[in-house]
């Protein structure tokens, strides 16, 4: 499960590839993103124009798993579930820019210590790519101390891992989009056409990289 990713790019690179207006006001040199934090996404706005906005990572959980608060679901695999089907249409799809993502490496766990992460990117140069995401507006409690609030939330789809990710995480990897036509398809096509993008990235389009240098860490929503 991917619960950490990094964005080391600029808004011009994101808006150029997505043809989106910047309505987020975001332009940071490097940001690690953890669940519950704000991060940029690109979606089709209410006016029909693609827009980059800020949203909180963690979609609403299935009700059976919620007690007095809901930290949210970051990774979405079972798109046949009634819980997720309501958000599969173009109006609730988004793309999530990133330059690298992390998976915990069980083989590197130190007894009594933290599990080390392995980082993946398109290349050592870490060009921008996009997770295939879903978003929604939601009112509820994500942290008890904050009480009930209004949020715009996102998560992204996962799929079978490719041969690069599988040695570290054998169950899943994020669904990754790299080309403008894939972004167009994800943001606009009927689900029967868009769902074919829920597949592993080709092995030669992903590599293991060093941890990113972080200059600015994302803030909690």
pLDDT digits (tens, 9 = 90+) for 22-53: 999 888 888 999 999 999 999 999 999 999 99
Mean pLDDT for 63-74 is 92
pLDDT digits (tens, 9 = 90+) for 100-147: 999 998 887 777 778 889 999 999 999 999 999 999 999 999 999 999
Instruction: Could you please state the CATH topology (level 3) that the domain comprising 5-209 is classified under.
Output: hypothetical protein yedk fold (3.90.1680)
Angstrom distance (rounded) from CA 135 to CA 91? 9
- Tell me if 16 sits within 8 A of 203, measured CB to CB: no
Angstrom distance (rounded) from CA 160 to CA 52? 28
pLDDT at position 152, please? Answer: 98
Angstrom distance (rounded) from CA 189 to CA 90? 7
Mean pLDDT for 180-192 is 98
- Tell me if 133 sits within 8 A of 93, measured CB to CB: yes
Question: Is the Cα dihedral 211, 167, 80, 63 positive or negative?
Answer: negative
The pLDDT of residue 8 is above 70: yes
Taking each helix axis as running N to C, give the angle between helix 11-18 and helix 180-188, from 0 to 180 degrees, rounded to the nearest 10.
Answer: 70
Residue with tokens 């909180």: 56
């Amino acid at each position: 499960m991917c619960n950490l990713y990094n964005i080391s790019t600029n808004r011009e690179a994101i808006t150029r590839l997505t043809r989106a207006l910047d309505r987020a006001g975001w332009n940071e040199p490097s940001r690690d993103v953890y669940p519950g934090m704000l991060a940029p996404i690109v979606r089709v706005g209410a006016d029909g124009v693609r827009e980059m906005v800020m949203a909180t990572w963690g979609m609403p959980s299935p009700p059976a798993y919620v007690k007095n608060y809901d930290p949210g679901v970051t990774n979405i695999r079972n798109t046949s579930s009634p819980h997720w089907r309501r958000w599969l249409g173009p109006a609730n799809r988004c793309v999530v820019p990133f330059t690298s993502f992390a998976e915990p490496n069980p083989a590197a766990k130190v007894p009594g210590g933290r599990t080390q992460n392995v980082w993946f990117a398109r290349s050592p140069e870490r060009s921008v790519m996009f997770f295939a995401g879903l978003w929604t507006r939601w009112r509820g409690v994500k942290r008890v101390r904050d009480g009930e609030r209004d949020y715009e939330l996102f998560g992204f789809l996962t799929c079978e891992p490719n041969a690069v990710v599988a040695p570290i995480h054998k169950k899943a990897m994020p669904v990754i989009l790299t080309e403008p036509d894939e972004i167009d398809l994800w943001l606009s096509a009927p689900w029967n056409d868009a769902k074919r993008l829920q597949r592993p990235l080709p092995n030669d389009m992903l590599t293991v990289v060093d941890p990113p240098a972080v200059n600015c860490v994302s803030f909690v929503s």
